[in-house]
Every structure is written in structure tokens, then in C-alpha cells.
Chain A
């Protein structure tokens, strides 16, 4: 499996924010996206998630352009798991109720996943009663529930303590060992396997 980006450029409100981005990743590799706030890290991840079409360039998934063919796009999004800025959780539902849809849909074991993230004891507690770190781990549990080949993670460690960050790194390594690709934007140090680093700079400086 490969994912590559060739000469990708994108505008936000008529302002160029991503200019000629290039990279290529194989199975078991990772890309760490770095850059200051507002530089376009989230925009790049959103393009990679298939939400937004790049203004110039394309994304190649196994050498196929994902934005040119709706069928390829549909197959691609089935193979990615996305963690955005927001946790996408419903405060009034319990942790289990929030994740049930995904566990049932992908026929994955919810309790096994919760155990991996030390969340089993919180399964029946409404999300509004959890701490920000616990909410982030719940959002990460959704990533684990989807049998995806590519993980796109926007600041996954926000709100997590050192112990949970170490646990997360182990989970990431295990995913990569099984052939997965991780693309992550982060401000913290994440020692990922076979990691490449993409530094984003303002387009005017490139």
C-alpha cells in the first residue's frame, strides 16, 4: 500500500496556504507534520481525509487518484480513520453509546478496544462527566474500532498525560507493524517507527 501527494497546493478564502506539498509513504511508515499554528496542518490532513479537494494536485492511493473517481474516493474513505481537532463525541451519551455505532458497523470488539486505552471502567459514564484526556482517548478508541489502513490524526496527544502518550505510542507501533500508515500533526515528540517529517512553512517563504 502507498499513499503519495504530488505538487499539492490549496487555498483558504483565496489565500494560498499549502504550496507544492510532496511526499510518499509506504506501509509501516509514518509522516509527522510540523509547523506553527494556522500554517495548514489541519487543512492538509482534511484534504488527505478526502473532505476537501486540493486546488492543485491530487492524492494517489495505491497509484490511483482519489478525487477523480467517486468509486476510488469511496473505497479510499473506507480505508482511513480520522481524528480531527474536535473529539466528535456526544456529551449526553455514555462512552459506550458514543462508540457503539462504530463497533457494530465494523464488527469490532468494543471492550477489547476500551481495554487497550484504559477506558473500560468508564464505559457507562456520560461523556460530559469525563476529563479532556479521557474524552481524547475515547475519540482515539474510535480510530481503533475501524479496520482502516491509514490513520490521519490531528493533534492526538492533546490533553493526554505521559503514561497515556506512552501507551498511545505502543498502539501506533503495533498498527504500523501490521502494515498501517500514520499521518499525524503534532507539537509534541512522537517517536514513531519509520517516521518522515514534513515541516510546513508559510508559502511566501518556500
Chain B
């Protein structure tokens, strides 16, 4: 019950701050459409770079509203109030991470569908493309949420957040792009999907736990 009430509140807050999500979407669309303009309209070349470009742009766009996951609650005193609800800190962190994924990553996934056409990707690749990006963005929300809670309270957390997030996201990015690449060239893609799934399976319990510890330390 507290989990759903808190999730409801987080989603409501995201709707009221829709400009954060819109900013991320705009960034994603602009950066993704700039590549074809810079590289030229050659369909083969675009198809070749599509997995890497779309993956990198999605991850960078989803990172933009990341610092807001805990920062505002920390600064306005809400984090202290949420602690006193009696919800375990890890569950509190998990709720906010889910909210970030629902309100930022899902719209990005929706926007990425028409962009695959721009890069001349075949329609048959769409299901696996969306599945891989769903796992990738979920990993990013988990890793970014953890990094954000660790950086909370640090004066220069604007620099800390990408520094903590990107090294941990590198394997996710590699497996994700290789997965799309393998599917494009009719090679075995299952091992890459399994590795991506393994990253998600490790991040799912570990990141909220670490984020909970980070939040606890931040309010001390």
C-alpha cells in the first residue's frame, strides 16, 4: 500500500514537471536526427550506425532528468518526511527509480520507434529493439538512481553522477548494441540478450539496496 501511494505521488509530480521529460525527448530526437544529416542519407551506412546511435542517444537523454530523482526531495526536506513513513529506504529508492523509468524511459522508447525508420531499420527488428532498449533503460534507471543517491549531499554532484553512471553502463551499452547488430545481420542474438538480462538481474536487487544506504547517509 505505501509503495503504490508513493508511486502515485511520484508519477503525479513527474506530470507536473513534464518539461523534464519533454526536454529529454527533445534532446533524443534532435541528437538522433543530426547524425543522418551529418553522415549523409546513404541507407546502408545509416543502418550500420543505427544501433549505436539510438542506444547512446537514448541513454544520454534518460540521464538528463536523473539528477532530479532524489535531489529535490533532499533539498526541500521531503526525503526526511518520507523516511518517517516507515518505508525501508531501499523500497523508497526503488519506487523513485520505477517512477523515473515509467515517466522518462517509456516516452523515449515510444519516440524511438519512428526514429528506427529514419535509420532504415527493418520493421521485423522492432520487437527485439524495444525489448533491448527496455532492459537497457531499466538498467540505466537503476544504476543512475544508485549513483544519484550516492552523490546526494556532495557539492559537485553534477560531475559525480555521469562519472559514477557511465562506467557501470558500459557493459549494458555494449551488449545492447551487439544484440541489435546480431539481429540485423541474422546472427545468433540470444547470448547478447542473455547478457543484457544478466545485467538487469544483477542491478535489480543491488542498486535499490545501495541507493537506500546512500539515502540514509545523505540525511544524517
Contact = CB atoms under 8 A, between A and B. Distances in A.
Contact of B77 (A74, A87, A101, A104): A87
Interface stretch (A88-96, A158-166, A173-181, A184-192): A88-96
Given A52-B220, A82-B84, A85-B77, A92 B13 contact: yes
Contact of A82 (B2, B81, B86): B81
Given A104-B5, A105-B5, A51 B83 contact: yes
Contacts of A100: 9
Contacts of B185: none
A86 interface: yes
Contacts of B86: 74, 77-78
A183 interface: no
A49 B86 CA distance: 12
Interface string A40-74: 00000000010111000000000000000000001
B80 A88 contact: yes
A55 to B, nearest CB: 12
A154 B179 CA distance: 55
Interface string B1-18: 110011011001100110
Interface residues of A, number: 27
Contacts of A87: 76-77
A144 interface: no
Nearest to B220: A52
A100 B2 CA distance: 12
B5 A80 contact: no
A82 B80 contact: yes
A61 to B, nearest CB: 14
A84 B78 CA distance: 10
A80 B8 CA distance: 24
A93 B83 CA distance: 20
Contacts of A142: 81
Nearest to B81: A88
B84 A101 contact: no
Q: Which of B1, B5, B81, B83 has the most CB of A within 10 A?
A: B81
B198 interface: no
Given A51-B219, A52-B220, A105-B5, A97 B80 contact: no
Nearest to A82: B84
Nearest to A51: B219
B12 A93 contact: yes
A85 B78 CA distance: 11
9 contacts: A53-B220, A82-B84, A84-B80, A87-B76, A89-B76, A90-B78, A92-B17, A101-B5, A102-B85
Interface of B: 1-2, 5-6, 8-9, 12-13, 16-17, 75-78, 80-81, 83-86, 219-220
Interface of A: 49, 51-53, 74, 77-78, 80-82, 84-90, 92-93, 97, 100-102, 104-105, 142, 146
